[in-house]
Amino acid sequence: MTGEIRVPGLSTTTGWAAGVAAIAASAAAWAHDPIFAIGPHVVFKSGFEAASELVSEKQGTGKDRSLALQITYGLTGDWAVGVDLPYDFKESGDESSSGKGDIAVFTKYRFWRQDALGRQKSAAAFFKVVTDTANSNQSLVLDKGATDGILGLTYGYESRKWYHWASARYRINGTGDAGLDRGNRILIDFVGGVRRTPTGYLEPDTVWLLELNGEYGQRGKLNGTNLPDTGGTEWFISPGIFWTLRNFAIKAGVQIPIYHNLNGNQEKSDYRAKMTLEWHF
């Protein structure tokens, strides 16, 4: 045995290329992205991805939930665009409010991809604009009063058994009409995953994930004056699961805080949870 791929009727070189092509084609079928981080996966050319996402967060006496519809379209095999349409729920003590959240548009471009037998490496750039379109006539204001931008870079490794990702995002928060600057944020993510039992495309497939998510926020300002009880650092450990059946997927996870270093008097995060249903067509 030499480790060469031999395909009847093809030369050794041609057979190797055919084998790599087969692996690359199957990789597209079981491509994954993390739950809380971003990954380099993009929708195939002229394809659509519809996702319904439920997010729940608790921080002290406040609880935020969001139900969002996300539609993504593949402009090419490496470039996708999409839109987020959220509906938000906010609670604080005895008060609560709900309404249309901020619509967001985004794009992702995979600028590097390397295929080999049984694995794929890739990297992508990400850009998102979070508009100022939420309801503002609520007792608990859903409208942040500014348009924000998010820039990101992500790297991913996928094989039949092992996965890992790394990503970094920089969120540029706009200044509202009242002069409130919420401070920019940096998000860093490291993710590992394992498929304990390799399966075929027609069979249910499960990948277990573990993420380390870090967030650093600058101090906010009001008309140029620093706000003492804003900004700081939090880190989360985030177990999750990614279950797929052909072109349908369910992924879910929970962020558990493990480190806080917040400025001034702020309530720490208790947990964050997310569940997403995805359909490719």
Tokens of 80: 């996708």
Q: What is the Cα–Cα distance from 48 to 279, expressed in whole angstroms?
A: 8
Instruction: Tell me the whole-structure pTM to 2 decimals.
Output: 0.87
Q: Where are the domains of the chain?
A: 31-280
Query: Residues, the chain, total?
Result: 281
**Per-residue pLDDT tens for 162-220?**
999 999 999 999 998 789 999 999 999 999 999 999 888 789 999 999 999 999 999 99
Q: What is the Cα–Cα distance from 206 to 174, expressed in whole angstroms?
A: 40
pLDDT at 13: 43
Domain 31-280 has CATH 2.40.160.40: yes
* Parallel, antiparallel or unpaired: strands 48-59 and 62-74: antiparallel
What 3-state class would DSSP assign to 191?
strand
Q: Of 25, 26, 3, which Cα lies nearest the Cα of 201?
A: 26
User: pLDDT above 90 covers what percent of the chain?
Assistant: 75
The CA distances from residue 82 to 42, 106, 201, 208, in Å, are 11, 5, 26, 27
- The amino acid present at 221, given as its one-letter code, is K
Sheet holding 180-181, edge to edge: 180-181, 221-222, 225-226
Q: Please list the ranges in the chain whose pLDDT falls under 50.
A: 1-30
Q: What is the Cα–Cα distance from 206 to 235, expressed in whole angstroms?
A: 26
